[in-house]
């Protein structure tokens, strides 16, 4: 098994050491490949201790190549037939995490382990991200998620992540769509990691905006289908899109303040995202 971790501005020492210990316990032939995508010097120095660990390959990119390219770079270095991708802000808390994946091998499927969040955010400033994560991302029916999945290397090589996607957002959506197009089954198992890298509300909301801008660019090529797009189509068919856009123009600041405040709601976030989409689309 090749465990592949793209690293950016995060301390991954505990993650790597936990994975090493579990692989040794499971007695599986393994390697852990970490590529630092031009992090700040503090994190590069912090993670330096991993360079000397057995079965760990540590590489530092001289420039940031982005979320898609670094995953492809990791896969090219892997020497085992199964690739386990984990985000660097993952916390492995199940003692049988690696064994749970091994129990499903061999396989031709893509196995999604899932994610969960802590029972509460560490600070009110992280509440929006925590709320979205607990109510949306950790649901059992969530689609493909790139933060914790195992895939046969032969399957990955047929698809790979789209390196033309330079901005934040939807590289995992397109990868998941390609899996479905190739009739590669997605199997979800209860093998979750804790998503530790919560972002403050302002950063999280800005990333949502960037992802919407990226979505609008991608849909011109008809390469993507999301719940947000389907919702917008529904509103347009009902003739309600212009009303929603006017609402957004008048209430954008108020909605944004609500989302950045101590008591955001997902309803306001959904309305904000729809309005932002309509407004950004009108400006293209």
Do 244 and 127 reside in the same domain of the chain? no
Do 139 and 45 reside in the same domain of the chain? yes
Is pLDDT above 70 for 284?
no
**CATH number of the domain bearing residue 133:** 3.90.550.10
Do 44 and 166 reside in the same domain of the chain? yes
Domain boundary among 165, 195, 225: 195
pTM: 0.92
Do 151 and 219 reside in the same domain of the chain? no
Domain that holds residue 164: 2-195
Do 186 and 263 reside in the same domain of the chain? no
Count structural domains, the chain: 2
Task: Report the alpha-carbon distance of residue 155 to residue 172 in Å, rounded.
Answer: 15
- Return the HEC string of 155-208: HHHHHCCCCCCCCCCCHHHHHHHHHHHCCCCEEECCCCEEECCCCCHHHHHHHH
Domain boundary among 162, 195, 228: 195
Do 37 and 114 reside in the same domain of the chain? yes
Domain boundary among 195, 229, 250: 195
Average pLDDT over residues 25-34: 97
The pLDDT tens digits of the residues spanning 30-77 come to 999 999 999 999 999 999 999 989 999 999 999 999 999 999 999 999
Do 177 and 276 reside in the same domain of the chain? no
Task: Report the alpha-carbon distance of residue 242 to residue 274 in Å, rounded.
Answer: 11
């Amino acid at each position: 098994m090749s465990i592949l971790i793209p690293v950016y501005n995060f301390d991954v020492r505990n993650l790597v050491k936990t994975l090493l210990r579990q692989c040794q316990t499971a007695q599986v032939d393994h390697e852990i490949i970490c590529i630092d995508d031009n992090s700040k010097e503090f994190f590069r120095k912090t993670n330096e201790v991993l360079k000397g660990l057995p079965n760990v390959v540590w590489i530092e990119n001289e420039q940031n190549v982005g979320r898609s390219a670094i995953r492809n770079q990791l896969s090219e270095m892997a020497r085992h037939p199964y690739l386990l991708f984990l985000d660097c802000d993952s916390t492995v808390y199940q003692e049988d995490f690696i064994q749970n994946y091994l129990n499903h091998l061999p396989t031709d499927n893509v196995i999604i382990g899932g994610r969960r969040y802590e029972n509460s955010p560490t600070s009110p400033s992280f509440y929006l991200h925590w709320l979205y994560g607990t109510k949306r991302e950790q649901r059992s029916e969530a689609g493909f998620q790139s933060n914790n999945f195992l895939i046969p290397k032969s399957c990955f090589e047929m698809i790979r992540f789209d390196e033309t996607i330079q901005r934040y957002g939807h590289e995992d959506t397109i990868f998941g769509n390609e899996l479905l197009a190739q009739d590669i089954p997605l199997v979800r198992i209860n093998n979750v990691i804790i998503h530790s890298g919560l972002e403050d509300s302002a950063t999280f909301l800005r990333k949502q905006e960037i992802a919407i801008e990226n979505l609008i660019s991608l849909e011109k090529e008809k390469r993507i289908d999301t719940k947000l797009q389907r919702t917008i189509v529904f509103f347009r068919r009902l003739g309600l899109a212009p009303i929603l856009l006017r609402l957004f123009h008048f209430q954008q600041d108020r909605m944004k303040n609500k989302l950045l405040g101590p008591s955001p709601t997902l309803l306001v976030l959904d309305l904000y995202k729809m309005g932002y989409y309509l407004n950004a689309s009108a400006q293209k």
